[in-house]
Amino acid sequence: GAGVSQTPSNKVTEKGKYVELRCDPISGHTALYWYRQSLGQGPEFLIYFQGTGAADDSGLPNDRFFAVRPEGSVSTLKIQRTERGDSAVYLCASSRRQGAAETQYFGPGTRLLVL
Amino acid sequence: GESVGLHLPTLSVQEGDNSIINCAYSNSASDYFIWYKQESGKGPQFIIDIRSNMDKRQGQRVTVLLNKTVKHLSLQIAATQPGDSAVYFCAENSGGGADGLTFGKGTHLIIQP
């Protein structure tokens, strides 16, 4: 079946602009996760959803970052007033359900470049 | 394209040899561990996982070993192939409602022909 998909695959924006990144999880997966990966580093957790609600947003770096999942499927990560330091690959993952031992399957990521 | 292997430890092995990638994890309360493979320009791909009540688990050509005493995880890849070239990350999940994974620094595995 189809895996996790993310759009756009690449996004170039200017400092101060607003961006939205979209994630389509694997069909039927109830848990959805966002991570950020800087060059040469491992992914860093941002936020995860169980259904429509954000179960843990402890990884969001500041209040410029926000994510929604209004219908419990597709999620959008929103970044306001982008800064050059926001440049990274933003990865989305999903799992069948919430739980520490549930395998998370990753999408290809959105490469964000803030000029 | 970008290189996810930039600045990462590198392990170079001959094609057909076995490779061992090591990882030290940070949280003694972690109860689930995963190895991911990441090729350049792609997202992490699940390889194998292990729960804290086990010390060894085998898959196809891969084996994961867990030593909770020293908080050490290793991934063994048998008979390496060119397609095994990638960056390998270990990840841990401490559970307790915090289901976000914590990733290690990664190791860049290079298979020499």
pLDDT tens profile A67-99: 999 999 999 999 999 999 999 999 999 999 877
Which among A42, A45, A109 has the least Cβ separation from residue B89?
A: A42
pLDDT in single tens digits along all 113 residues of chain B: 333 344 679 999 999 999 999 999 888 888 899 999 999 999 999 999 999 999 999 999 999 999 999 999 999 999 999 999 999 999 998 765 567 899 988 999 999 98
**DSSP letters for A34-81:** EEEE-TTS--EEEEEEETTEEEE-TT--STTEEEE-TTSS-EEEEE-S
3-state SS, residue A95: strand
- Cα→Cα distances B47→B58, B69, B70, Å: 11, 24, 23
State the Cα–Cα distance between residues A88 and A13, nearest whole angstrom: 12
Give the pLDDT confidence of A21-61 residue by residue, as tens digits.
Answer: 999 999 999 999 999 999 989 999 999 999 999 889 999 99
State the Cα–Cα distance between residues A104 and B102, nearest whole angstrom: 12
Which of B99, B102, B105, B108 is the best substitution to test chain A (most A C-beta atoms within 10 A)?
A: B99
State the Cα–Cα distance between residues A6 and A19, nearest whole angstrom: 14
Q: Identify the pLDDT of residue B3.
A: 37
What residue has token string 């290690």? B104
Q: Identify the pLDDT of residue B96.
A: 58
- Identify the closest residue of chain B to A99 by CA–CA distance: B99
Q: Could you tell me if B36 lies within 8 Å of chain A, comparing CB atoms?
A: yes
Give the pLDDT confidence of B16-39 residue by residue, as tens digits.
Answer: 999 999 999 888 888 899 999 999
Cis peptide before A8 (omega within 30 of 0): yes
Q: Identify the pLDDT of residue B98.
A: 61
State the Cα–Cα distance between residues A60 and A57, nearest whole angstrom: 6
**Number of Cβ within a 10 Å radius of residue B70:** 7
